[in-house]
Amino acid sequence: MTRFLFILLALTVFSLTSSNAAIYKGQRIFIKKCLKCHKEGQNFIANYKMKKWKRLMKKKGKLLAEIHLDNEKAKKSWKYFKSKRYAKKSRHLKQFLIEYAKDSGNVPACN
């Protein structure tokens, strides 16, 4: 858990200094909306390659939403994935996810 918090902190610092607003916004969405179920956080994002995230987040995140809406275990996320807010902000989330995908080469630095 401490390690994870550390990564989160590193991520935040990175986002702030990189002044990349979209990625920062995407990160906030991820922390608020995804982390409660996908507790591995950063490692979870790095499970997938950029291409996979791009595919999942195409057409305003349609596929990602469908995966969750088809899964009873993800019931608590249904309201969010059906919301207009999800579709509207999905491009920020997409940028964030791609930024930290397995093959992006962007591992938050520890300095």
Burial 85-100 (b: 16+ CB within 10 A, else e): ebeebbebbbbbbbbb
Distance CA 55, CA 61 (A): 8
Tell the smallest beta-carbon distance from residue 76 to ligand HEC (Å): 4
Closer to ligand HEC by Cβ: residue 23 or 64: 64
Paired tokens of 27: 């990160």
Tell the smallest beta-carbon distance from residue 65 to ligand HEC (Å): 9
Closer to ligand HEC by Cβ: residue 23 or 109: 23
Tell the smallest beta-carbon distance from residue 111 to ligand HEC (Å): 28
